[in-house]
Structure 1
Amino acid sequence: MTMPIWLDKRASLTPGRTAIEAGNVQLSFAQLRQQAQGVATKLLNKGLEERAVLACLSESSVALVVLVHSIPYTGACLMPLNTRLTVHELLYQLQDSGCKFLVYSDSYADTAARLKQELNHLTLVSLAELQALSTAAAASRQLLHDVEEQAVYTIMYTSGTTGHPKGVLQSYNNHWSSAVGSMLNLGLSTQDKWLLAVPMFHISGLSILMRSVIYGIAVVIQERFDPKEANEAIMSQGVTVMSVVSNMLVRMLEQLGERRYPQAFRCMLLGGGPAPLPLLETCVEKGIPVVQTYGMTETCSQFATLQPEYMLTKIGSAGKPLFQGELRILQDGQVMSAGEAGEIVVRGPNVTSGYLNQASADSFEQGWLHTGDVGYLDEEGFLYVLDRRKDMLISGGENVYPAEIEAVLMSHPEVLEAGVTSTEHEVWGQSPIAFVVLRQENVVNQEKLLEHCKARLAKYKLPIAIHTVRELPRNAAGKLLRRELTKLLPIT
């Protein structure tokens, strides 16, 4: 089956509504469509073919939004590139995907040139060039007006925490189902504005652009996250919804101080892994409407989300699957009962069909995606995410979840951030080791933090050392990189 190109349909329904706000730039949906069709025309004239892979290397910008929405008109598929990756890492993704087109912003011109040196067949096109060219040129072939539901719209590589990253295939139907499921859960108002301060090359940022044209709401774009600017957008720019991870929210609360958000702000969508309970409790005290969610690249953003009416009664839960989704907890192939931890397994129309150029038998079974995350369902079917299975450590035969220890450390008033990983132990096999960022230097030492933990954690969960550091390693989306924590250990 086919569906109309979303931007085409939206611009015909509500042409004058604001689509994009970014600094002094404001575009209506009609203007966004005009620019997207113009860019699509230029790409076709440069030789972009249907089903070809077009990579983009750019910071968040209006030009990048236009590029994202130009792709359906061409029949090609878009591969956003993580701007934090090295040339070596980018080369792998370009080669693995068979990419022949790379669109880049001026900030990454040098990187694009280096990639071209390694891949002679690569056609380079700058975003500035696409913007500057006249939109009146005739296309080498006619622009499309509709798309196949199961056609691949985007390819997004996973972070590659072990081995090479995998290209997740995201169809139009995947993105559509994600947007519709989110709307049925969170509701929708024509007054909504979604603040986009997460990278567009991550699914958290890209999915906001999809929702904008499907819902007919404005997106407020900030090139990079800044807690002061994010708070200002909520306080004075009419933002009603924002997507964050825990680290972003912690810093926004610090900057907010004693102030409170206006009543019109209705949803702080919190994802990126288990949220520390102390953070959620602080938000409840300040009246901040935090809605915890669980998702991943493979599910085109959200899969389970807490419904707003349960925010106070189910603190710490990621809610239930979106309308069309199914979720199970498995351990050794058996479905777990309420309260029993196991691997989170999901199925639904927003779940990818697989990975580019890779067999998916290890991850998929009869349509069920094995996420590699650990969690449990309570008696009412609400999901509680414990940790990534690969981050779990076993100490003396007991399962230890770093996220639980991190939450306890962050409940100390002087701890701003915490990260926990494992170290080898002669007796117990593995033991947790912690790293903390303090609100003020030298106000609390390791002994005091350990005493704090002893009152709240079983003995086998206690970190054998707590190191104070200036910052924790995070990826571009703000997620903690636990595998990088040991690099912070002092050299002995």
Structure 2
Amino acid sequence: MMQELSSRSLPHWHTKRADLTPDRPALLAEGVQWSFRELHERARTTAGKLAALGIQKGDRVGVLMHNRPEMVQLVHALSYLEAVLVPLNIRLSPVEAGWQIQNAEAKLTVYDGTNRKTAQKIREIDGALALLAWEELEQQQPVDFQPPVRVGLDSLHTIMYTSGTTGKPKGVMLTYGNHWWSAVGSVLNLGLQPDDRWLICVPLFHMSGLSILMRSVIYGITAVLHASFEPSAANRAIRKEGITHMSVVSAMLTRMVDDLGDQCYPASFRCMLLGGGPAPRPLLERCKEKGIPVFQTYGMTETASQIVTLAPEDALSKLGSAGKPLYPAELRILRDGREVPPGSEGEIVVRGPNVTPGYWRREDASREAIRDGWLHTGDLGRMDEEGFLYVLDRRSDLIISGGENIYPAEVEAALLAHPAVAEAGVTGLPDERWGQVPAAIVRLQDGAEVTEADLMKHCRERLAKYKVPVRIHQVGRPLPRNASNKLLRRKLAELLPKGEC
């Protein structure tokens, strides 16, 4: 039966792209080069193998894989079945990853060889979870299935987990429409050229990496995938391999500028998108001196990548600004529920077709975050007289370490799970390489004894490596709290020995 046409649907964009520009290179990675036709055929075959395992429309499928061509193939394959992608951070502990798989009610989770040990430990923790190695999936015999001709803009495409202020991650729901409008908003700002190539050094399980895969297919441009970030390799790709766009965070860009030395990028490189939190002004000034076209951005998982980006013509005159909302998104600055005048500080709230409809199985969190159609980000910022956004802070307690978000409450919860710990507080310390790193202050139970090494080991068993505090300092008095007994994290650094804060 022919699918009903609707203004709330689009032609299945992977199939459409393979028809429009079949011979254009879609992916360059690890010595392979796939055209859009080849990517389409590979993804469709993989979809047939998933269908043989019973994966159907609406089923959630976890993906625990490093940046590699097979992950690209799998991510796209899910759309041919209209199954829902659940990308898993490979740096999570087995406990954390297993919780996300269980919470998403994933029917299957596919992992690669480098994550085999994590998968085995997840099985040991919860034997009811279905996990399958990529090699085993490849051995499946594909079955015939009917791929969608069109996809609904309101249909769920992705559930991506982001850390929450209460310690438990929330599954951000992203629709086909969210991804589509994110891509459209970006291209209306940056423009499009037939020889554009976007370098992906950020993880595909992050919004920054996944959004580039979506844009590649929608725009018909080449995605160049690196297994991990290495500054000299990234610089070489820009200088020698025709890269025109790259997405980075401050820690990555700092290392690239250091590695670049006296060299410069070619004129063909036209966009260094900088996200992950406010950038240090000295870094922006170094890039300005070297002629590196840095465009600061502001966004989050809930907005399907950036929702604010500096336009090219404003890159120098508005140094330090994240720009203006991408078309057709909107932005306001509120304080106590009221919009503030230009120059005043307040909470950043946004709305637009790229904004999540809510959180998976969390109606309470969805109602709290999205009010009257506006997403309340919890981030602080101000707008100048011309409407340019300046981000002042990424949530008052958030620690951003090398582009990874670390919520203190999550780390504190892990520390408080130790029987010797009575109180725990976590704060961020400046770090030249990562921007920030977490440090903890704990007060032990009366009469209890435990070493810093023991607490570190305890944390490593429960948290991703990047979340484990670099220092756990013990104090003999209660941690600072306000009249409502809420922990005053901004005062925690005062409790650290001099020289550590």
The C-alpha deviation readout for 1:17-36, integer Å capped at 9, x for no partner, is 00000131000000000000
Which of 429, 432, 436 matches 1:437? 432
Give the corresponding residue for 1:319. Answer: 323
> In the aligned structure 1, how far is the partner of 2:23 from the partner of 2:139?
24
The C-alpha deviation readout for 1:28-79, integer Å capped at 9, x for no partner, is 0000000000000000001112211100100011000001111111121010
Give the corresponding residue for 1:98. Answer: 105
The verdict on how the C-alpha distance between 1:8 and 1:358 changes in structure 2, with shifts beyond 3 A counting, is: same
Which residue type is aligned with residue 313 of structure 1? Answer: S
Which residue type is aligned with residue 52 of structure 1? Answer: D
The verdict on how the C-alpha distance between 1:485 and 1:319 changes in structure 2, with shifts beyond 3 A counting, is: farther
The C-alpha deviation readout for 1:250-288, integer Å capped at 9, x for no partner, is 000010000000110000000000011110011000000
> In the aligned structure 2, how far is the partner of 1:145 from the partner of 1:125?
29
> In the aligned structure 1, how far is the partner of 2:136 from the partner of 2:428?
50
2:182, 2:306 within 8 Å by CA — same for their partners in 1?
A: yes
1:382 aligns with 2:382: no
The C-alpha deviation readout for 1:82-103, integer Å capped at 9, x for no partner, is 0011111112111211112010
> In the aligned structure 2, how far is the partner of 1:341 from the partner of 1:36?
47
> In the aligned structure 2, how far is the partner of 1:353 from the partner of 1:17?
34
1:100, 1:121 within 8 Å by CA — same for their partners in 2?
A: no
1:73, 1:145 within 8 Å by CA — same for their partners in 2?
A: no
Which residue type is aligned with residue 371 of structure 1? Answer: T
Identity %: 51
2:173, 2:357 within 8 Å by CA — same for their partners in 1?
A: yes
Which residue type is aligned with residue 324 of structure 1? Answer: P
The verdict on how the C-alpha distance between 1:210 and 1:332 changes in structure 2, with shifts beyond 3 A counting, is: same
TM-score, normalised with respect to structure 2:
0.79
Which of 154, 159, 164 matches 1:160? 164
Number of aligned residue pairs: give it. Answer: 417
1:180 aligns with 2:188: no
Give the corresponding residue for 1:87. Answer: 94
TM-score, normalised with respect to structure 1:
0.80
The verdict on how the C-alpha distance between 1:236 and 1:218 changes in structure 2, with shifts beyond 3 A counting, is: same
1:138 aligns with 2:133: no
The verdict on how the C-alpha distance between 1:99 and 1:330 changes in structure 2, with shifts beyond 3 A counting, is: same
2:94, 2:122 within 8 Å by CA — same for their partners in 1?
A: yes
> 1:111: how far off?
1.7
Q: Give ranges in structure 1 of 5+ residues lacking alignment.
A: 393-401, 407-418, 422-429, 440-479
> In the aligned structure 2, how far is the partner of 1:151 from the partner of 1:183?
23
Secondary structure of 2:343's counterpart equals coil
Which stretch of structure 1 is more off in the superposition, 196-205 or 108-117? 108-117
> In the aligned structure 1, how far is the partner of 2:243 from the partner of 2:94?
36
> 1:121: how far off?
3.6
> In the aligned structure 2, how far is the partner of 1:176 from the partner of 1:191?
21
1:221 aligns with 2:225: yes
Give the corresponding residue for 2:46. Answer: 39
1:329, 1:345 within 8 Å by CA — same for their partners in 2?
A: yes
> 1:127: how far off?
1.8
Which residue type is aligned with residue 432 of structure 2? Answer: V
1:50 aligns with 2:71: no
Aligned-pair Cα RMSD in Å: 2.6
Give the corresponding residue for 2:288. Answer: 284
The C-alpha deviation readout for 1:172-213, integer Å capped at 9, x for no partner, is 000000000000001111100000000000000000000000
> In the aligned structure 1, how far is the partner of 2:315 from the partner of 2:207?
24
Give the corresponding residue for 2:449. Answer: none
The C-alpha deviation readout for 1:204-258, integer Å capped at 9, x for no partner, is 0000000000000001100100001000100111000000000000000010000
> 1:436: how far off?
4.1
2:111, 2:134 within 8 Å by CA — same for their partners in 1?
A: yes
Which residue type is aligned with residue 93 of structure 2? Answer: T
Secondary structure of 1:264's counterpart equals coil
